[in-house]
Amino acid sequence: MAKQITLTIDGKQVTVPEGTVVADAAKMAGIDIPVFCHHPKLEPVGMCRMCLVEIGRPVRDRVTGQFVMENGAPKIQFMPKLETACTNKVEEGMVVLTRSQKAIEGQRGTIEFLLTSHPLDCPICDKGGECPLQNLTMAYGPGKSRFLYDEKIHLDKMVPLGELIWLDRERCIQCARCIRFQNEIAGDAVLGFDERGRSTQIVTFSDPPFDSVFSGNTTDICPVGALTTEDFRFGARPWELQAQASICTQCPVGCNTTLNTRREAKAGGRIVVKRVMPRQNEEVNEIWLCDKGRFAYHYTEGKNRLSRPMIRKDGKLTRASWEAATKLAAENFQKAKKNFVILASGRLANEDLFNLKSLAEHADGKAYLYTHMGGGELTSLVGVGQGTDFGKMGAGTTIVVVASDLYQEAPVWYLRVKQAAARGANLIVMNARETKLDRFASFVVRYAYGDEVKAVNDLGKKNKIGESFLKSENAVILYGSDGLGIAGSTALASACAKLLHENGFSGKPNNGLIGVWSRANDQGAWEMGFQVEEDLAKALKGKTVYIAGADPVGDDPKLAKALEGAEFVAVQDVMATATTEIADVLLPAQAFTEREGTLTSGVRRVQRFYAAVPVSGDAKADFAITSQIARHMGIILEGTSVSAVFDILAASVKSFEGLTYARLAEVRPQWPLVGREDLYYGGTTYENKQGMGAQLSAAAGRGETVSIPRVEKEALPRPKEKELLAVPVTRLYDRGTTILPSELLHQRIGEPNLVLHPSVAENLGVVEGQKVSVSFDGVSGEAVVKLSDAISVGVALIPRSMGLAIREPVAVKVK
Partner 1 sequence: MAHVLLRHRDIPDIHKLEIYKKNGGFEAFKNAVTKMKPNEVTDVVKNSGLRGRGGAGFPTGMKWSFIDNKNWPHYVVANADESEPGTFKDREIMEGNPFQFLEGVAIASYAVGANAAYVYLRGEFWQIAAFLDEKIAEMEEAGYLGKNLFGTDYSLKIYTHLGAGAYICGEETALLESLEGKRGQPRVRPPFPPSYGLYGKPTIVNNVETLTNVPMILANGAEWYKSMGTADSPGVKIFSLSGRVRKPGNYELPFGTTFRELIYTHGGGVQDSRKVKAIMPAGASSSLILVNDDKILDTPMDYASVRTIGSDLGSASVIVVDDTVSMDWLINKTVHFFRHESCGKCTTCREGTYWMSHLTERIHEGRATRADVDLLLNVAKQMQGKCLCALGEFSTMAVVTGIERFRSDFEKVVKA
Binding residues for partner 1, per CB under 8 A?
Answer: 44-50, 52, 80-82, 84, 87, 106, 109-110, 112-114, 116-117, 146-148, 151, 153, 173-174, 192-193, 195-200
Please state at what angle helix 322-336 crosses helix 622-632, rounded to 10 degrees: 60
β-bridge pairing 76-78 and 52-58: antiparallel
Please give the Cα distance from 67 to 90 (Å, whole number): 16
- CB of residue 157 to partner 1, shortest distance in Å: 19
**Pick 197 or 269: Cβ nearer partner 1:** 197
> Cα(316)–Cα(194) distance, rounded to whole angstroms?
61
| Distances 272 to 152, 300, 594, 649, 742 between C-alpha atoms, Å | 39, 10, 10, 31, 14
> Quick check: 257 and 278 in contact, CB under 8 A?
yes
Query: For residue 182, which amino acid is it?
Result: Q
**Before 34, cis peptide (omega within 30)?**
no
Q: How far is the CB of 742 from partner 1 (least distance, A)?
A: 36
Closest of 418, 499, 503 to residue 456, by C-alpha: 499
In the bound state with partner 1, the residue whose beta carbon lies nearer, of 50 and 430, is 50
Number of Cα atoms under 13 Å in the Cβ half of residue 530: 31
Query: How far is residue 355's CA from residue 640's CA, in Å, rounded to a whole number?
Result: 12
Shortest distance in whole angstroms from residue 149 CB to partner 1 = 12
The distance of closest approach from Cβ of residue 201 to partner 1 in the complex, given in angstroms and rounded to an integer, is 9
Given the complex with partner 1, which of 221 and 412 has the nearer CB atom? Answer: 221
Q: Which is nearer to partner 1, 197 or 669 (CB)?
A: 197
Pick from 364, 365, 363, 360: nearest CA to 633 = 363
| CB closer to partner 1, 136 vs 637 | 136
Q: Closest separation between CB of residue 59 and partner 1, Å?
A: 18
Minimum CB separation of residue 197 from partner 1 in Å reads 4
**152 vs 233, which CB is nearer to partner 1?**
152
Cα(321)–Cα(323) distance, integer angstroms: 5
Pairing of strands 95-97, 4-9: parallel
Query: Of the two residues 99 and 237, which places its CB atom closer to partner 1 in the complex?
Result: 99
The closest of 174, 22, 6, 1 to 96, measured between CA atoms, is 22
Give backbone dihedrals phi and psi of 118, rounded to 5 degrees, phi first. Answer: -85, 130
Closer CB to partner 1, 97 or 400, in the complex:
97
Given the complex with partner 1, which of 193 and 234 has the nearer CB atom?
Answer: 193
Q: Residue 119 Cβ, how far from partner 1 at the closest point, in Å? A: 14
Partners of 83 in the β-ladder: 53
Report DSSP state, residue 186. Answer: I
Give min distance, CB of 57 to partner 1, in A. Answer: 13
For partner 1, the closer CB: 192 or 394: 192
Minimum Å gap between C-beta 195 and partner 1 is 7
Closer to partner 1 at the Cβ: 47 or 403? Answer: 47
Q: Minimum CB separation from partner 1 for residue 47, in Å?
A: 5
Q: Is the peptide bond before 44 cis (omega within 30 degrees of 0)?
A: no
First to last CA, the chain: 62
Residue 6 or 200: the one with the smaller Cβ distance to partner 1 is 200
Return the number of the residue (83 or 556) whose C-beta is nearest partner 1: 83
CB 439 within 8 A of CB 420: no
CB of 192 to partner 1, least distance (A): 7
Q: Which residues contact 29 (CB under 8 A, 6 or more apart)?
A: 9, 12, 14, 16
- Count of other CB atoms within 10 angstroms of residue 286: 25
Distance CA 521, CA 110 (A): 49
**392: DSSP letter:** G
Check: CB of residue 480 under 8 Å from CB of residue 403: yes
Q: How far is the CB of 203 from partner 1 (least distance, A)?
A: 12
Q: Where are the alpha helices (DSSP H) in 145-286?
A: 177-180, 216-221
Minimum separation from the CB atom of position 174 to partner 1 (A): 6
DSSP-based three-state secondary structure for 609: strand
Which class for 313: exposed (0-12), middle (13-18), buried (19 or more C-beta within 10 A)? exposed
